[in-house]
Structure 1
Amino acid sequence: MDLIVRNARLAGGGEVRDIAVNGSVIAAVEEHIEERGDSEIDAGGCLVCPPFSDPHVHLDAVLTVGDPRYNDSGTLLEGIAVWGERRPFVTKKGLMENAREAVLWEAANGVQFIRTHADTTDGSLVTVEALLELKEEMKDVADIQVVAFPQDGIYTFPDGERNLRRAVEIGCDCVGAIPHNELTREDGVRSVELAFDLAEKFGRMVDIHCDETGDEQSRFVEVMARCAISMGMGERTAASHTTAMHNYGNDYALKLMGIFQRAKMSFITLPFDNSVLQNRTDGYPRRRGHTRVDELDRAGVNVCIGHDSIMDPWYPMGKGSMLAAANLLLHTAHMSGYSQVFRLFRMITGNSAETLGVSDSYGIAPGKDASFLVLDAEDEFDAIRLQSECLWSVRRGRVVSQSVPATRTVTRESGRRDVDFKWKRMTGKA
């Protein structure tokens, strides 16, 4: 075998197994594999899981925080204004340098699947061209999908529809829209319908920034669901943000859950940006700025977690860690119940794979792609608690990232001791 991983603690049950890799495929997962590999990794009982995905990030804006100025109010509207000021000065070279660096950050954190949005507002489509080039350049560390995303809306300026169509024609994988940003509700509905029509015509997926507002009257998600049902495109459809759903009346939200089940569409929640950008006009008390994650999950609707921004005009923090995003959502979505923590882990692994349409080759089983992570944790609970380092990231049989955790030593009068915060191991409960 080309590679054997020893003493791997599998997600979803905690069994310790050996994993054999032949070429780019998992050949065997067994209690013990006698054969030796050309190279071997001793996981030492650490958690081994499929790769993380980031199903929603804006690589055309990453690492631009403070350029041309900082977002002092921290609001969504000022973020859009700052980006508008920067847009005329965007170059393909600068954009790709920043995006390339952000992909490496995510790769070091165990992300191997990325869906990025590319702003189609500028008629030059420089952002689209750059990210399509990046997709090809970085395929050794991550599979990248590009969404044609009309940041300012489709019908708010004359060339919006033409730009969106051109972006799809030159190779974008998904069609986007931002209906709540259109001038009227009627234009918002038109924008959703156009996105679905283009996706159907060109065989693409749909990923729409939908109801990213605290306005309980913003209800374009129902239009998305109707299109997904009538056109049979639910499994290729993702609604991103849907933060207005947090503020909907409970009766209406309950009705929606049944519609979403029927539509078979996916939802992407963005804890970093949603937690700081939404419900800014509430005063006190302040509602939480995310969609109804726990209710959607209980209803059997596919929900996953995206990073959204990494040091840009909308969110000045971040380092590409999906475990950090899951940890934040645990707090803001009231999902600290023991079983819920494991559901959160699923939202950055299997659920995201389903949203991105890569489930067939995804997972740790014979015949699947040899793509997996070794995390510095004993189970999914501890991975989120510790926001664990990715010790090894193996992509189609090749190690693409490796990390050495920090050593922390506490010195007392009685002596020195290293501390790794691993409570289960320390108490002998592993």
Structure 2
Amino acid sequence: MLLIKNTKILDVDENMDILINDEGRYEKILKDIEVKDYEGCQVIDAKGMLATPTFVNTHMHFDKAYTSLVARDSKEETLEESIKIMHDRKRNYSVEDVKNRAVRAIKECVAYGTTKIRTNVDIDNMAGLIGLEGVVLAKEECKDICDLQIVAFPQEGIFNNEGTEKLMWEAMEKGADVVGGMPAAEWLDGYAKKHVELVFEIAKKYDALIDMHMDQSKDMFDRSLEYTAVRSIEEGMQGRVTGGHCTSIAYQNHSHAKKVMEILRIADFNVCTNTQTLAIMGVDSEPRTRGVTRIREMVEMGINVATAQDTICDGFHLYGTGDPLDYGLICAYTAQYNTPKTARIVFDMLTKNSARIFAPEEKYGIEVGNVADLNIIDAPNVQEALRLRASRPYIIKKGKIIGSFERKQVLF
């Protein structure tokens, strides 16, 4: 058993004790729990630090991670050019190389307190299923520290990338958990709709969640988002479909965008805005905007909005650490959230909002009976956690301490 003494739980006025049983679930959450009542119990004195559920990152690309450690040669620094940069790298994938890079990325994310991660893996006629095979091996190696979902992701489109339709079905047979898509990559609007239809067909066959890169462009006429949201209602998949990025809606007139957001709300459609990558990648030309979706409006309308790391040092993004408090802080800046109340909105994007995307039917959070996945964060509140990207002395999964992250400053 594990007893955490004197910790600050979000939305609880006074410090509490948390008792975790041998099955890795929360047994008791009370003001004072006597350790003498539990022989052999391991004890942590949290000293008033925050206890929060572990972070959930629902949008990563582990097959691409660390492919730009030497350089990211780029002249335009745009999304379109970033896609081309990755082409040659994908053609040179090997299963072992992908696996090793993915394992490194998973472990680094976990070391910051993220124990549930969803990663996209490119499925196309350049990489074939090599990326998938490597990430499947990484998933197995890291299964004790991380719950990993793999998305079959047709980065290059499906119908204008010969052979990808067949590969998408094969990917689901060979280890993918979630059906991905990128309809904006298709050459024609008709193909984009056909792309969406195929994604739903595959998802129905495998009873899988859907997570597509949606309208990731500066083109106001990319409108697969509303089509996909309506299809999720028609297919009875409310709450089970997620759109990543969703940037074109920011370029549409307010009247149309408001209609689309109302459809998203009715469809219980999830939106994962990956602000760190979008803010630097260059979604549009000069004058450059922040490049993200309508975060504040969506939140105010009751749409489930999350944010994620997206990429770590690849052809799209030279930087990235996998630390949710790092990319969460960038989200606060790009969404212009600048009060303690709105800092909490950002923190929820990193935790419970992302958990709702990852496993909509599962219970999540620090409550009696739930699985005890939690972080102890060395901060008095969420805005200080974000500001300092604070240390996490204890990272706990299923009641076991699996890691620690410490941020130090030393003066001599």
Would you say same fold, with TM above 0.5?
Answer: yes
Change beyond 3 A, Cα 1:289–1:69: closer
Structure 2 residue aligned with 1:158: 162
Contact 2:377/2:394 (8 A) holds in 1 = yes
Structure 2 residue aligned with 1:27: 27
- Whichever residue aligns with residue 328 of structure 1, its letter is I
Within 2, Cα distance between the matches of 1:175 and 1:68? Answer: 31
Contact 2:58/2:358 (8 A) holds in 1 = yes
- Whichever residue aligns with residue 293 of structure 1, its letter is I
Contact 2:225/2:246 (8 A) holds in 1 = yes
Structure 1 residue aligned with 2:14: 15
3-state secondary structure, aligned to 2:181:
coil
Q: Deviations over 1:110-137 (max 9, x none)?
A: 0001000011114640111221222222
- Whichever residue aligns with residue 3 of structure 2, its letter is I
Residue 265 of structure 1 and its aligned partner are, at CA, apart by: 1.2
Alignment of 1:50-89 (within 5 A): 50-65=53-68, 70-89=73-92
Structure 1 residue aligned with 2:211: 207
TM-score by length of structure 2 reads 0.95
How big is the alpha-carbon RMSD for the aligned residues of Structure 1 and Structure 2? 1.5
Residue 14 of structure 1 and its aligned partner are, at CA, apart by: 4.6
3-state secondary structure, aligned to 1:345:
helix
Structure 2 residue aligned with 1:291: 293
Contact 2:112/2:404 (8 A) holds in 1 = no
Give the gaps of 5 or more residues in structure 1.
412-430
Structure 1 residue aligned with 2:192: 188
Contact 1:199/1:206 (8 A) holds in 2 = yes
2:287 paired with 1:277: no
Structure 2 residue aligned with 1:93: 96
2:44 paired with 1:45: no
Alignment of 1:371-386 (within 5 A): 371-386=373-388
Paired residues, number: 407
Structure 2 residue aligned with 1:226: 230
Structure 2 residue aligned with 1:416: none
3-state secondary structure, aligned to 1:234:
coil
Alignment of 1:173-184 (within 5 A): 173-184=177-188
Q: Deviations over 1:325-350 (max 9, x none)?
A: 11111111111133111011000000
Q: Deviations over 1:280-323 (max 9, x none)?
A: 32x12x32201111111111110101100100010000110111
- Whichever residue aligns with residue 9 of structure 2, its letter is L
Larger deviation, residues 353-362 vs 151-160: 353-362
- Whichever residue aligns with residue 63 of structure 1, its letter is Y
2:134 paired with 1:130: yes
Q: Deviations over 1:34-92 (max 9, x none)?
A: 13452111111011000101100000000111568523432212221121111121111
Within 2, Cα distance between the matches of 1:288 and 1:298? Answer: 19
Contact 1:353/1:359 (8 A) holds in 2 = no
Q: Deviations over 1:186-220 (max 9, x none)?
A: 11111011101110111011000111111111111
Regions of 4+ moved over 4 Å: 66-69
Contact 1:10/1:48 (8 A) holds in 2 = yes
2:108 paired with 1:109: no
Larger deviation, residues 216-225 vs 356-365: 356-365
Identity of aligned residues (%): 29
Contact 1:14/1:379 (8 A) holds in 2 = no
Residue 25 of structure 1 and its aligned partner are, at CA, apart by: 0.9
2:369 paired with 1:367: yes
Alignment counterpart, residue 237 of structure 1, candidates 236, 241, 247 = 241
Residue 359 of structure 1 and its aligned partner are, at CA, apart by: 5.9
Give the gaps of 5 or more residues in structure 2.
none
- Whichever residue aligns with residue 350 of structure 2, its letter is I
Within 2, Cα distance between the matches of 1:131 and 1:46? Answer: 35
Structure 2 residue aligned with 1:417: none
